[in-house]
Structure formats: C-alpha cells, structure tokens
Homo-oligomer: A and B are copies of this chain.
Amino acid sequence: MDNPFFSAIRTHQLAKNSLLCIGLDTHFGRLPAVVKGDENPIFRFNKEIIEATKDIACCYKPQIAHYSAVGAERELELTINFIKSLGIPVLLDAKRGDVGSTADMYAKELFERYGADAITVNPYLGLDSMEPYLSRSDKAVFILCRTSNPGSAEIQNTKVNAEEQVYERVAKLASGSWNYNSNIGLVVGATNPLELRRVREIVGEMCLLLPGIGAQGANIGETMEAGSNGEMLISSSRAIIFADSGNDFGDAARQMAIKTRDEINLCRTMS
C-alpha cells in the first residue's frame, strides 16, 4: 500500500508543477502590523499566506517551536486544520526524540492532537525510540540525517570507519531495517550538496526534505544537481512568509513562492 503522505505529495507536485514546501516558522515578533491586533494573529497571518500560495506549495511545514514559545497551541491547531481543509498535506516539524512511554506521548501530541500527516524526528536514541512514529503506516516520518546548520558536522560527520560517517549510517538504517512500513523520508540540509549526493546514492529514490534554501543561503542549482534523481521536498520558510512586512504581505509571499518554485524548476530541467 502506498503511503498516504508520499502519495498526496506526488499528486500536488504534479498538479502544481512544484517541489516547494513552505515552512510556517511564524515568529510572532515579525508579524506585520496589520494582523497584530487580530484575536488570533498568528493564525490570521498563516491563513493569508496559505490562501496566497495554495496553488504553489505541494506541502506546508509548520515549525512547532514558533507556536509553543508563545503559548499559541490553539493557533497551530487552527493552522493545521485550515491546511487540511484545503486537501494539502501537513508536515509538522518537531524533531522529537525520547524513549518508551514518552515517545508514545509525543506521537499522540503530533498525530492525534495536531493531526499531522508527517513529522520530523531525531535518530540519536535509536530505532525503538522512533517506533511509535514508524509503526504508523498511515503517516510519514522524516528522520534527521545531515542538518543544514554550520555545526552539524560535529557529530553527524564523525567517521565510523574509513568509509562511513554517522549520517551515512543513519541513511543506511533509514533505507533498510528501519523502513519496514515504507514511511520514512530523510532531512538533509540543502547547504551540503556533497552529503546530499552521498545520501541520494545510499537511499535511492526515497523522499528527501531539503531545508536551507532562502534565508539559510543554499544554492538551488547545486541542490538540484546533487539530489534530483529521486523524490524531494524543497523547503523555504522565512524568505517566503516574511517577504514583505506591509499590508500586502500575502501578495509578496506569493511572488516569492512563484519565483522560488520557478528557480527550482529551471534547475530541475537542467540537471
């Protein structure tokens, strides 16, 4: 049986000719003045961004810390419900990682309370810590492999032996014994084209979530060249949603989303 999330992503990518996943890292402090007085300002902002980009994004990725930092759990729920009402898949970026009964509670938080279709998780604690997510064949699970930050090499590029680093070991496990429900994707920072190419070699066509373009400065051409022979979700957050802080923030986000989608597609054709 095909995974419902990956299947929905393919449908939206084809229909919209777009690999773009829009990240809803909705920092309260950066909201335009026009929404700040609203009863639910974060949701009001997200709703306008989503309405302005719903024919361009194949997926939305709310980042949970931006909501929990300011007690905006209700606005996250409203946002996810609104995205789902449009039939668009929701990837909830939470990067959880804990053991046993606590991991069960995180699964309940992400899948039941918030109704996410897919999530991000941290592999440091091993397979059993991820079972409450991986056992859900109706959901998709993106495991951190090689992250987009400058310091990611410190642990992830530690050499395991002459030919293998920690992130490669994660990629092998994730495309092997961990993937018993065919519901795994990997997070690989677009800022690391060399590692991205290596992960693609290991995992074949597995779906990769690529943060790092936009505000984090990755080169789209290099990213597409390294990773496009397989499924991809290319994520941009702040560069799109905060493209303009005036009253026309929705239009500005739309223009930036179109520009980003088109840049990706241009490199897709070339690679």
Contact = CB atoms under 8 A, between A and B. Distances in A.
Contacts of A98: 63, 65, 95
A182 interface: no
Interface stretch (A33-41, A159-167, A192-200, A218-226): A159-167
B123 A151 contact: no
Interface in A66-112: 66, 68-71, 73, 95-103, 105-106, 108-109, 112
A95 to B, nearest CB: 5
A99 B97 CA distance: 15
Given A70-B113, A71-B73, A65 B149 contact: no
Interface residues of A, number: 54
Contact of A127 (B68, B106, B154, B216): B154
Given A98-B95, A101-B25, A125 B109 contact: no
A148 interface: yes
A105 B156 contact: no
B158 A166 contact: yes
A129 B149 contact: yes
A153 interface: yes
**Most B-side CB within 10 Å, residue of A102, A123, A151, A158:** A102
Interface centre among A123, A148, A152 (most CB of B within 10 A): A152
Contacts of A99: 147-149, 152
A199 to B, nearest CB: 15
Contacts of A147: 99, 124-126, 129
Interface of A: 25, 27, 63, 65-66, 68-71, 73, 95-103, 105-106, 108-109, 112-113, 122-129, 144, 147-156, 158-161, 166, 169-170, 173, 216, 238
The 6 closest A-B pairs by CB, nearest first: A126-B151, A128-B151, A126-B154, A65-B105, A99-B149, A69-B108
25 contacts: A25-B102, A65-B96, A65-B109, A68-B105, A68-B113, A70-B108, A70-B113, A71-B73, A95-B97, A95-B98, A99-B152, A100-B216, A124-B144, A125-B144, A125-B151, A126-B154, A126-B155, A126-B156, A128-B150, A129-B149, A129-B152, A154-B173, A155-B166, A158-B169, A160-B160
